[in-house]
């Protein structure tokens, strides 16, 4: 709770105590000095001014700026009207309850803002600029395109760029939600906001700070409230016309009936004040945008960026949700689940040797799959046994271990090298191993499903999502196993990123105008 909110709370407590005492004095004790109406008026004005002085100030200030018909003005004339007709306690009560509601609203908004502020931590505070062989810390905003920056282990990348020297694993979870670190090396693109792992990187910047990924994300968060949903726009327009109609209606109610039908003028004035209080649109005007703002804040606290209330409103109409697998539905934490030597009768390599070969072959890699193989091997590696290691993008590794030529990778690598192999259909990621162009066996690395994924899929279907789809680059067997465990309706496996785009476009093309589709993940 902020200092401002605490002050309002203290005023509410003080007013409530004074109000309670005055009610007891007015209706139970009834001292002699309260027999005079003006004494009672003065006594009730004390808590009224304690709780309502800021409302009166806002109303007068807004009127001076040409903004007459707002909730402050309505509360002011309604409570003053209550005092005019002698309902002093009602005037104080209305203002007191209004301030209690305002305090709850302010607290809710502040909690949402704090959640959003936590997301701002992805913004880097400095950049290590390299000039003439010297490195100095500067503001990221002062770095020009084409400059060389140094990103040390553990530091947040300040600007988008291309790696010109170094190799490392970078944590992109704060930007993409992907739990598995991404490997970057020379000529790799790297985006601002992600955290460098264990390697030192020299990066040539390709964008200014104002155009960088992290800046665009922060702008989306800061401007989220400006993108209003249809319901918010309707309420704003509604209040613009509704408020003056209510004020004019109350004025007519106070004046016309006593003139036409007769009766006590103060009775009709009292009715007009009651009409003003119950017709005040503040609850309606506040509740709709507050609910969207609260939703955006709650989402940001869970690491979800909502670009605006209009997008939150669309999310309520989703009927198809497409998921990436690794790091989204699964943990992205890989463990060796099976070591299967070749069944060929001429094969002399057993389980332990097969795992040893794979561990040495993956000895220089920081990829999570490589880490899981080395972890399963569990022994210290003497890397002098390994020579001429080459990583084949999208396929695997080619290396020499103790003079033996070794290939480790997926089925595509075996096919590319014309190595006959036995397909392993076990669910999981399969690494095939070949020594001297002869298939030696396979190792299965399995990912585990995230806690809560199954419940999330079930809950989505209960609230109206008709179809869930999973897209993955993993093998069909592994994808089917995860889909069966989670209750996914449709699965597309062994996809490249471009293939995933194509599948999403097909799904979109099959929908009608009223249906909505969402994609979850960084695939």
**Residues known to be catalytic:** 324
Nearest by Cα to 479 from 418, 422, 421, 430 = 430
**In 3D, which of 497, 90, 409, 514 has the Cα closest to residue 271?**
90
- Return the closest-CA partner of residue 47 out of 109, 104, 107, 99: 99
Q: In this structure, are strands 318-324 and 467-471 parallel, antiparallel, or unpaired?
A: parallel
The DSSP string of 135-174 is EEEE-GGGPPTT-EEEE-TTPBP-S-EEEEE--EEEE-HH
- Cα–Cα distance between 59 and 363 in angstroms, integer? 71
CA dihedral 478, 481, 486, 489 (to 10 degrees): 90
Nearest residue to 324 (alpha-carbon basis) of 468, 191, 203? 468
Q: Give bridge partners of residue 149 from the DSSP assignment.
A: 129, 203
Q: 65 by DSSP, 3-state: which?
A: coil
Residue 109 tokens, joined? 């908004």
Strands 467-471 and 490-492: parallel
Q: How many CB atoms within 10 Å of residue 289?
A: 18
Q: Do 436 and 404 form a contact (C-beta atoms < 8 A)? A: yes
């Amino acid at each position: 709770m902020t200092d401002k909110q605490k002050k309002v709370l203290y005023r509410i407590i003080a007013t409530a105590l004074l109000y309670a005492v005055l009610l007891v004095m007015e209706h139970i004790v009834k001292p002699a000095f309260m027999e005079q109406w003006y004494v009672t008026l003065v006594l009730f004005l004390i808590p009224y001014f304690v709780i309502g002085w800021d409302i009166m100030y806002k109303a007068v200030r807004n009127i001076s700026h040409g903004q007459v018909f707002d909730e402050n003005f309505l509360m002011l004339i309604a409570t003053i009207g209550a005092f005019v007709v002698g309902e002093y306690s009602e005037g104080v009560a209305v203002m007191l309850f209004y301030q209690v509601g305002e305090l709850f609203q302010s607290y809710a908004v502040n909690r949402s803002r704090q959640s959003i502020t936590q997301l701002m931590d992805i913004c880097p505070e400095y950049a290590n600029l390299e000039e003439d062989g010297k490195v100095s810390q500067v503001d990221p905003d002062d770095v020009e395109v084409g400059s060389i920056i140094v990103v040390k282990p553990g530091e947040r990348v300040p600007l988008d760029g291309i790696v010109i020297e170094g190799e490392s694993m970078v944590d992109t979870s704060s930007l993409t939600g992907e739990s598995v670190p991404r490997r970057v090396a020379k000529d790799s693109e790297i985006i601002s906001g992600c955290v460098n792992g264990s390697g030192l990187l020299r990066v040539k910047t390709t964008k200014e700070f104002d155009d960088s990924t992290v800046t665009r994300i922060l702008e989306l968060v800061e401007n989220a409230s400006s993108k209003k949903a249809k319901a918010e726009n309707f309420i704003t327009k509604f209040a613009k016309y509704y408020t003056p109609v209510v004020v004019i209606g109350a004025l007519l109610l106070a004046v016309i009936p006593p003139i036409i039908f007769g009766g006590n003028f103060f009775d009709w004035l009292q009715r007009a004040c009651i009409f003003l209080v119950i017709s005040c649109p503040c609850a309606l005007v506040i509740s709709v945008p507050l609910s969207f703002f609260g939703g955006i804040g709650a989402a940001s606290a869970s690491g979800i960026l909502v670009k605006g209330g209009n997008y939150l409103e669309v999310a309520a109409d989703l009927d198809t949700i497409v998921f990436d697998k690794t790091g989204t539905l699964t943990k992205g934490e890989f463990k060796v689940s099976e070591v299967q030597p070749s069944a060929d009768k001429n094969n002399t390599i057993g389980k332990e040797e097969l795992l040893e070969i794979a561990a040495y072959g993956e000895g220089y890699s920081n990829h999570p799959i490589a880490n899981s193989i080395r972890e399963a091997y569990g022994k210290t590696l003497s890397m002098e046994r390994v020579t001429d290691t080459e990583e084949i993008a999208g396929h695997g590794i080619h290396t020499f271990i103790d003079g033996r030529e070794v290939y480790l990778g997926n089925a595509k690598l075996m096919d590319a090298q014309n190595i006959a192999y036995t397909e392993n259909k076990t669910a999981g990621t399969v690494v095939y191993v070949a020594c001297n162009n002869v298939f030696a066996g396979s190792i299965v690395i399995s990912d585990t499903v995230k806690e809560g994924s199954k419940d999330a899929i079930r809950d989505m279907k209960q609230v109206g999502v008709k179809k869930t789809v999973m897209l993955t680059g993993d093998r069909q067997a592994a994808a089917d196993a995860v889909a069966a465990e989670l209750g996914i309706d449709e699965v597309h496996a062994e996809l490249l990123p471009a293939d995933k785009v194509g599948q999403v476009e097909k799904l979109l093309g099959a929908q009608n105008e009223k249906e909505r589709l969402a994609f979850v993940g960084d695939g």
